Structure formats: structure tokens, C-alpha cells
């Protein structure tokens, strides 16, 4: 279990948004939430099981997989929130690649950018879920009025 309070709050936020996406979101929101949770589980596993040098490459691969996943979803569903999530994930990939290339240890700036970017991806999934939920309610009201 994560030891720090900010990490626990981050996990709570992630799981609440994922739960809302699975409960009230459409298919793209559920898939985006699944990507988010799978990556959220893979990152600490990479940190704990791999040495620091290999963990950086594993994080890069996790971010590449997430960016590719969001790219596929954005192409398939043509949604702005998916495009934003994909761009944020690409920024995350770039951050990891930059730190690997310059061979710099993760510092406070890395942590700040990494955390803000992760929060941005979670917010994209939340916004997409709220839009899908609202659209479904609006369509149900119109259908009820038509009948």
C-alpha cells in the first residue's frame, strides 16, 4: 500500500474517476479508465521490481503504451477529451525520454510535471465521463418526450 498521503489521495481520485467512468461512462470512457488503472498498477510494480536504470525504460514503455492506447481510442471515437488525454500522455512519454537521454535522476521538477500530467489525464477521463453521462440523460429525456 502507498505510504504517503498524497499518493493515497491520488489513488483514491483515480479509482473514484475510474469507477464513475465504468458506471456512467460510455465505451470510450470505460476503455480510457481501464488504461489509466492498468498503468497506475504497472508503474509501482516497475518501481519495486526493477532496478532504477531499468525502471526508467519500463516507465517509458508504459507511457508509450498508454499514449498509443489513447491514440487508438481518439481515432476510433473522435473525441476531444481523448485527444487531450493522448497529448498529455505523449507529454509524459517525452518527460521520461528526456530524463533518460540526459541521464538525470528524477528530481522535484520531474515529480511536479509527472504528477500534474497524471492529474490532467485523470481529469480528461472525468470530463469525458460527465459529457457521456449528460448526453445519455439528454437523449433519454428526448426519447421520453417523443413517446
Q: What is the pLDDT, as a whole number, of residue 1?
A: 54
In a domain, 104, yes or no: yes
What 3-state class would DSSP assign to 115? Answer: helix
Task: Identify the band that residue 4 occupies on the pLDDT scale cut at 50, 70 and 90.
Answer: confident
Radius of gyration of the chain measured on its C-alpha atoms: 17
103: left (phi over 0), alpha (psi -120 to 50) or beta: left
Give pLDDT tens digits for 118-128: 999 999 999 99
What is the rounded distance in angstroms from the CA atom of residue 132 to the CA atom of residue 4? 33
In a domain, 136, yes or no: yes
Hey, what's the cell of 75?
481515432
In a domain, 1, yes or no: no
The boundaries of the domain holding residue 36 are 9-146
Number of domains in the chain: 1
In a domain, 4, yes or no: no
Give pLDDT tens digits for 11-46: 999 999 999 999 999 999 999 999 999 999 999 999
Q: CB burial class (10 A; 0-12, 13-18, 19+) of residue 119?
A: middle
Name the residue among 65, 41, 44, 66 with its Cα closest to residue 55.
Answer: 44
CA angle in degrees (0–180, nearest 5) for 43-63-49:
25
In a domain, 109, yes or no: yes
What is the rounded distance in angstroms from the CA atom of residue 138 to the CA atom of residue 78? 20
In a domain, 92, yes or no: yes
Tell me the average pLDDT across 78-89. 92
Q: Is the pLDDT of residue 104 over 90?
A: no
Q: Which stretches within 78-107 are classed as H helix?
A: 80-101
When the pLDDT of each residue in the chain is averaged and rounded to a whole number, the result is 91
In a domain, 80, yes or no: yes
Percent of the chain with pLDDT over 90: 70
In a domain, 2, yes or no: no
Q: What is the pLDDT, as a whole number, of residue 36?
A: 93
What 3-state class would DSSP assign to 111? Answer: helix
Amino acid at each position: 500500500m502507498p505510504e504517503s498521503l498524497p499518493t493515497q489521495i491520488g489513488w483514491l481520485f483515480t479509482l473514484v474517476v475510474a469507477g464513475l467512468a465504468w458506471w456512467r461512462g460510455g465505451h470510450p470512457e470505460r476503455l480510457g479508465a481501464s488504461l489509466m488503472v492498468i498503468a497506475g498498477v504497472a508503474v509501482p510494480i516497475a518501481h519495486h521490481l526493477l532496478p532504477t536504470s531499468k525502471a526508467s525504460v519500463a516507465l517509458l514503455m508504459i507511457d508509450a503504451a498508454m499514449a498509443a492506447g489513447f491514440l487508438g481510442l481518439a481515432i476510433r471515437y473522435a473525441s476531444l477529451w481523448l485527444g487531450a488525454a493522448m497529448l498529455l500522455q505523449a507529454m509524459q512519454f517525452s518527460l521520461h525520454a528526456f530524463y533518460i537521454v540526459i541521464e538525470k535522476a528524477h528530481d522535484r521538477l520531474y515529480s511536479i510535471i509527472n504528477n500534474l500530467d497524471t492529474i490532467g489525464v485523470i481529469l480528461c477521463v472525468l470530463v469525458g465521463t460527465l459529457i457521456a453521462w449528460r448526453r445519455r440523460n439528454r437523449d433519454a429525456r428526448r426519447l421520453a418526450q417523443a413517446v
